């Protein structure tokens, strides 16, 4: 351990480096921040612009320099992986990011990884990493609902909390986590439920815990397979198939499903009403497409947590369809992307949807 004089010198040097966007801290956990863009890197014209701003503007070194308090909890360094609004992230971006995370967590000088990310598709990236990165080290995905230039911006505390959780030994082995609004949610379960409040992200089955003033309070553990217990490994995945989502609503027709199949979709996620219900105007087309080898996966677009039961609204056994369990359509798409890298068998797909 360093003596008091040495520690105070080190802290002075660390504070000067922090002003340049480099953060070091003696005998503290090493946390790497991978920045991808989004509102947490956003900037508006005025402090009153909490919703009108440009996302993906502030570089990672400025995000780190903006929170010198990080020095007290971790030795932090940043990498700018992308600088984009998350609605524009592609399958290729997902692969690049996941491969970088997988490489970092293998390093002995990395204790945790934080990914700063736009909130629009944050839930998709968090689930993808949960499925394909093999590690027990904390991986924490974080965003913000307001740009750092706005009054009562939430990004600074969200990022501080994310680094604090990523630096925590008690966050190990809990899968990919999402820290927003003082909550710690599972990357599998959490979804953006509101698009105009800082309390935007919710899990239908509740958060795993809270993080308050740098301390984690845990209430539950993930029940589904993830990270080290996953049969999927990003080091063995170099491409992702086309999986599309078609929305179910009143007066539905089959145009989108036919177009997706014609364009090479290997699976179509039906974002159904209620219990993954399918309009009678669409069922025959899904049967035809299944007959042509397209996987049909029934999900539900209900907001606070759908739960599609097999053979309830539709005879899935008879049609050889898959149900998405409690996964919303965008999460079901992520799991289908990964599962199809391993199997085309619908019964195997259904096992995977029960287990992940």
Q: Looking at the annotation, which residues are catalytic?
A: 39
Q: How far is the CB of 120 from ligand DGL (least distance, A)?
A: 3
Q: What is the C-alpha R_g of the chain?
A: 21
Residue 120 contacts ligand DGL per CB under 6 A: yes
Cα 263–chain centre separation: 27
Q: How far is CA 252 from CA 26, 123, 167, 319, in A?
A: 61, 27, 49, 20
Residue 85 contacts ligand DGL per CB under 6 A: yes
Indicate left, alpha or beta for 30 from its phi (over 0: left) and psi (-120 to 50: alpha). beta
By CB under 6 A, the count of residues binding ligand DGL is 12
x/- contact string, 26-45, with ligand DGL (CB under 6 A)? -----------xxx------
Residue 118 contacts ligand DGL per CB under 6 A: yes
**How many CB atoms neighbour CB 66 within 10 A?**
15
Q: How far is the CB of 349 from ligand DGL (least distance, A)?
A: 29
Residue 147 contacts ligand DGL per CB under 6 A: no
Minimum CB distance to ligand DGL smaller for 157 or for 283: 157
Minimum CB distance to ligand DGL smaller for 141 or for 294: 141
Which of 328, 151, 348 has the alpha carbon at shortest distance from 338? 348
Contact 170, 147 (CB under 8 A): no
Minimum CB distance to ligand DGL smaller for 85 or for 337: 85
Q: How far is the CB of 93 from ligand DGL (least distance, A)?
A: 12
Residues 46-75 that bind ligand DGL (CB under 6 A): 55
Distance, CA of 35 to CA of 49 (rounded, Å)? 23
Q: How far is the CB of 138 from ligand DGL (least distance, A)?
A: 21
Q: How far is the CB of 39 from ligand DGL (least distance, A)?
A: 3
Binding region for ligand DGL (CB under 6 A) out of 82-90, 216-224, 296-304, 307-315: 82-90
Q: How far is the CB of 69 from ligand DGL (least distance, A)?
A: 23
Q: Which of 30, 119, 285, 330 contacts ligand DGL by CB under 6 A?
A: 119
Which of 315, 312, 349 has the alpha carbon at shortest distance from 332? 349
C-alpha count within 13 angstroms, C-beta hemisphere, residue 170: 14
Minimum CB distance to ligand DGL smaller for 37 or for 248: 37
Question: Token pair 């979709």 is at which residue?
Answer: 265
Residue 143 contacts ligand DGL per CB under 6 A: yes
Spatial strand order of the sheet with 177-180 comes to 75-84, 30-37, 112-116, 139-142, 177-180, 183-186, 209-212, 215-218
- Rounded (5°) CA angle 325-326-329: 95
Q: Which of 145, 171, 245, 271 contacts ligand DGL by CB under 6 A?
A: 145
Chain contacts with ligand DGL (rule: CB under 6 A)? 37-39, 55, 85-87, 118-120, 143, 145
């Amino acid at each position: 351990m360093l003596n008091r004089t040495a520690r105070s010198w080190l802290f002075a040097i660390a504070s000067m480096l922090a002003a340049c966007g480099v953060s070091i801290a003696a005998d503290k956990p090493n946390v790497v921040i991978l920045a991808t863009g989004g509102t947490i890197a956003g900037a508006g014209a005025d402090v009153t612009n909490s919703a009108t701003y440009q996302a993906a503007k502030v570089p990672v070194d400025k995000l780190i320099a903006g929170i010198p308090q990080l020095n007290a909890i971790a030795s932090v360094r940043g990498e700018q992986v992308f600088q984009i609004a998350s609605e524009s992230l592609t399958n290729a971006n997902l692969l690049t990011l996941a491969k970088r995370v997988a490489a970092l967590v293998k390093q002995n000088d990395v204790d945790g990884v934080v990914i700063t990310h736009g909130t629009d598709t944050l839930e998709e990236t968090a689930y993808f990493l949960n499925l394909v990165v093999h590690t027990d080290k904390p991986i924490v995905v974080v965003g913000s609902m307001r740009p750092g230039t706005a009054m009562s911006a939430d990004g600074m505390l969200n990022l501080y909390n994310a680094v604090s959780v990523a630096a925590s030994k008690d966050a190990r082995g809990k899968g990919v986590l999402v820290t927003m609004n003082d909550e710690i949610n599972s990357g599998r379960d959490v979804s953006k439920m509101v698009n105009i409040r800082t309390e935007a992200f919710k899990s239908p089955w509740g958060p795993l815990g809270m993080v308050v003033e740098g301390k984690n309070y845990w209430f539950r553990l993930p029940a589904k397979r993830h990270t080290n217990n996953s049969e999927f490994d990003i080091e063995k995945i170099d491409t992702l198939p086309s999986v599309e989502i078609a929305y179910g609503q009143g007066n539905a027709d089959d145009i989108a499903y036919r177009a997706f199949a014609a364009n090479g979709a290997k699976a179509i996620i039906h974002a159904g009403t209620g219990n993954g219900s399918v309009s009678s105007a669409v069922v025959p087309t899904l049967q035809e497409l299944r007959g042509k080898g397209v996987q049909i996966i029934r999900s539900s677009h209900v907001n606070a947590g759908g739960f599609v039961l097999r053979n309830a609204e539709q005879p899935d056994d008879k049609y050889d369809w898959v149900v998405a369990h409690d996964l919303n359509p965008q999460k079901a798409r992520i799991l289908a992307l990964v599962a199809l890298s391993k199997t085309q068998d619908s019964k195997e797909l259904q096992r995977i949807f029960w287990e992940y």
